[in-house]
Structure 1
């Protein structure tokens, strides 16, 4: 992967790590499913009026939007609202790299090289070290929901690869359009119409700022860059970069939420960085072309 592409991936990592703080603050202020629905509504509208649809299958775009917008963020937002710490969420969610590799192998025939597998294993060991340090802070249900969210992200990554050479921003924007209606319907059904309407009546500039960061820098800008990278490199090369999200997530949680970072967590972070270095410095030995 060229250096400029590596730097773009690191920008995405920084934005997504910070985004966990914004999610945590937003689900404390608003119903979590409503937050997800408003996020993707703001990401899609008005952008869809200025950006042409991607040259990809309609159903593929919809499937991408449902897996990324509905499945991933309904599960993640609920998990955080139900007690999953922001820092630990940023850690557990990175198991998506392994779901991505497995699904890319099954759906696209992309076979990761041994150095990619080795690097991912080292990085995952680092995540395990940090997660064990923090596991006592959360319950099993939110933890399990975060793992399901990670699987949904892995599916979204593979669907992006399957789309082939399409405009990344267009794919992201039109995929986002598939998410608001299902998310808002789920919000009214599960969180209650009265609760949702009360939250909307009290919606102010602070809430708008929290949603806007998730919609624009985290979804459109970072998501667009991420799709662009996935369309140009094998999923097993790009996905491991998100193993650095816990680093920026822990740092953001420490600086903005006062979350403690222990020596054990620092050790785990160093393992994550070492694993990523092993992964990105070696090309896969055999990679199938994009479908």
Structure 2
């Protein structure tokens, strides 16, 4: 498929739900791996391994990644934003709770919704769709509201919250950079390689500068968690995501990412024994209603 779609079809909805499920599982995998590897090393090495896989995939399919097509400026911008987003998330988690952080991160669909009309007038949301976006985000915020009631564990919690908000702006900015520059005409493989290559180098350099212990000893457990993040999530699901950005409305795609933290909660309940409450079930229903309004 090479043409752009004006709406999300059955394939897009199924692919998005799969991506959200994988990204939710990724939260569990990343958390479990932190006991054996530093956060910046984990993020940086994951991006570098996934970047190598993208290059191998493109070579196998005969896709040229290094032709001059005018996408360099947009690629450097998107890759830098992508790397800074993950740096803000990992650093911010030192000062605020994960529950608070995830709420701020998923403000990103608002950034996309507000910014896309300046790039593509056809993607302007109607009042009903904006109401659906507000309902979907409200469901996510309500599901994580218990995190707000916890006592602050740091006098710098405001800094962690601020970095969470900044990461949402950076994530939305990455999507807008892809759609608003010549990168929108580049292949999904090249688009993803920009994100992974630049972020991988930047995050690995950050790990060295921060003095994180180098991950020299790898257990089978850590290897499995890392391969899931690098191969399934960072390579396969991100490749699918960037392909969809080129073929479907970015605003409607972004609204579906609100399902990711809720999938993460379900994965935590099944894999880590975390409780599933009535609040979560009602939030899932409200989230589905909100996404339906956005895409109706």
Q: Which has the higher mean CA deviation after the structures are superposed, 106-115 or 34-43?
A: 106-115
Give the counterpart of 2:279 among 257, 261, 264. 264
Deviation of 1:90 (Å): 4.3
> Does residue 1:16 correspond to 2:23, yes or no?
yes
Structure 1, residues 94-135: CA drift from partner, whole Å, max 9, x if none? Answer: 211111112323455542222321110111111221232222
Do the aligned partners of residues 169 and 135 (structure 1) sit closer, same or farther apart at CA in structure 2, a change above 3 Å counting?
same
Q: Does 1:59 align with 2:77?
A: no
Match for residue 39 of structure 2? 32
User: d(CA) in 1 for partners of 2:94 and 2:227?
Assistant: 19
What is the deviation of 1:81? 5.3
Cα 1:255–1:90 shift into 2, 3 Å: farther
* Cα separation, 2, equivalents of 1:260 and 1:81: 24
- Which of residues 45, 49, 56 is equivalent to 2:52? 45
Aligned length in residues = 274
- Shift of the 252–91 alpha-carbon distance from structure 1 to 2, 3 Å rule, reads farther
CA deviation string 1:109-167 (max 9, x = no partner): 54222232111011111122123222234644433322222211111111222322332
Of the three residues 131, 138, 143, the one matched with 2:161 is 143
Unaligned runs of 5+ in 1: 282-291
Q: Which moved more, 1:116-125 or 1:260-269?
A: 260-269
| 1:166 maps to 2:186 | yes
Match of 2:249 among 200, 215, 234: 234
| Unaligned segments of structure 2, at least 5 residues | 1-7, 59-63
Conservation of the 8 A alpha-carbon contact between 1:127 and 1:268: yes
CA change 1:273–1:89 in 2 (3 A) is farther
Match of 1:213 among 228, 239, 242: 228
Q: Cα offset for 1:174?
A: 3.5
Distance 1:119 1:145 in 2: 26
What displacement does 1:56 show?
Answer: 5.0
For 1:243 and 1:154, locate their aligned partners in 2 and report how far apart those are by CA, in whole Å. 13
Is 1:96 the equivalent of 2:108?
Answer: yes
2:117 to 99, 105, 108: 105
What is the distance in 2 between the residues matched to 1:174 and 1:278?
33
Give the TM-score normalised by the residue count of structure 2: 0.84
| 1:246 corresponds to which of 261, 266, 269 | 261
